[in-house]
Amino acid sequence: MKFLDQAKIYLRSGDGGNGVVGFRREKFIEFGGPDGGDGGRGGDVVFEAVANLNTLIDFRYTQHFRARKGGNGAGANRTGAGAETLLIRVPVGTQILADDQETLLADLDRPGKQALICRGGDGGRGNAHYKTSTNRAPRRADPGWPGEERWVWLRLKLIADAGLVGLPNAGKSTLLAAASAARPKIADYPFTTLHPQLGVVRLSAAEEFVLADIPGLIEGAHEGAGLGDRFLGHVERCAVLLHLVDGAAGNVVDAWRTVRGELESYGAGLADKPEIIGLNKADAMTPREASARRAALARASGAPVFLLSGATGAGVKEVLRALQDRITATRRDAAA
């Protein structure tokens, strides 16, 4: 299934049904009077987050959604049938934005959450509403109110507890494969990962978290270089970021600063999120190189640096434990 995290669709709720002009006509009843019923209500357009979806690919082929019109009224004071609600199912983590792509209409961040985006029109009144002592045979009936219509943007932000960031070929996909049952594509060329990947990391029977791997960032990603920085939206909800630096590539400090600069340029509070730094590919460095580069990265970042190797598994458990401890603390604070 192709991954798609953004789509533009057209919505229109149903028009209300028309009221009618009707009069009671029965044998032996001389003055029946008006009995025109009201129109039914038009259908609403409602979004619902469901847990078994993980992409917006369906909205590439179906882009127009229209709810049904309410039924017209009838004689004998019968109200028209109300139209059914048009329910649109989207993945958990989907944001609904107005056509300007800035105004947030709804954030469906948990399964079962619903959002009413377009309200159906009310039904028109029948002539029975306009009967008065001076107008006993009104011939006025109102049409139904029109529904609402709008273009909206759907933007998917995956729900994950921890996010993997770093330059291309930093070993993010290798670490995800080593830490979880996910099987992302792994190769020795840049931009192997073209769309986000999720994996569930289980440290024990009672401890687990979701780890997200996104495409690599390069200098100028916020200006469109490489694959851009739009995929950073998938780690906005994460409690902690794991910043992987390729220790075998040379200047680890410049690599760390490049990614930090892209996080700051993207905004959305990513630069302020808790960060755990991992110096990856320890198996491709000598002990002296690993020690020197780890110390240089610690001085530049002012934070402890974990030495690990996703290929051999060395140091991976320590990094995962640090992530789990941070996530547990965040969950505890949120519950409090």
What whole-number distance in Å separates Cα of residue 237 and Cα of residue 95? 12
193 is in an annotated binding site: yes
191 is in an annotated binding site: yes
75 is in an annotated binding site: no
By DSSP bridging, strand 114-118 and strand 162-165 are: unpaired
56 is in an annotated binding site: no
Judged on CB neighbours under 10 Å (0-12, 13-18, 19+), 204 is exposed
282 is in an annotated binding site: yes
16 is in an annotated binding site: no
133 is in an annotated binding site: no
310 is in an annotated binding site: yes
291 is in an annotated binding site: no
215 is in an annotated binding site: yes
* DSSP designation for 270: G
8 is in an annotated binding site: no
Q: Is 151 helix (H, G, I), strand (E, B) or coil?
A: strand
Consecutive H or E run containing 211: strand 207-213
| Tokens encoding 5 | 């995290």
311 is in an annotated binding site: yes
Q: Which residue has the tokens 């789990």?
A: 324
283 is in an annotated binding site: yes
By DSSP bridging, strand 104-108 and strand 207-213 are: unpaired
281 is in an annotated binding site: yes
171 is in an annotated binding site: yes
Rg of the chain over Cα atoms, rounded to whole angstroms, equals: 29
111 is in an annotated binding site: no
138 is in an annotated binding site: no
Separation in Å, CA 199 to CA 97, 109, 183, 190? 28, 19, 9, 21
77 is in an annotated binding site: no
Question: DSSP readout, 217-259?
Answer: P-TTGGGT-TT-SGGGGGGTT-SEEEEEEEGGGS-HHHHHHHH
The values of phi and psi at residue 156, to 5°, are -95, 125
Separation in Å, CA 308 to CA 125, 243, 283, 317? 72, 12, 8, 9
What whole-number distance in Å separates Cα of residue 297 and Cα of residue 314? 19
187 is in an annotated binding site: no
Binding residues: 166-173, 191-195, 213-216, 280-283, 309-311
Binding residues for GTP: 166-173, 191-195, 213-216, 280-283, 309-311
Binding residues for Mg(2+): 173, 193
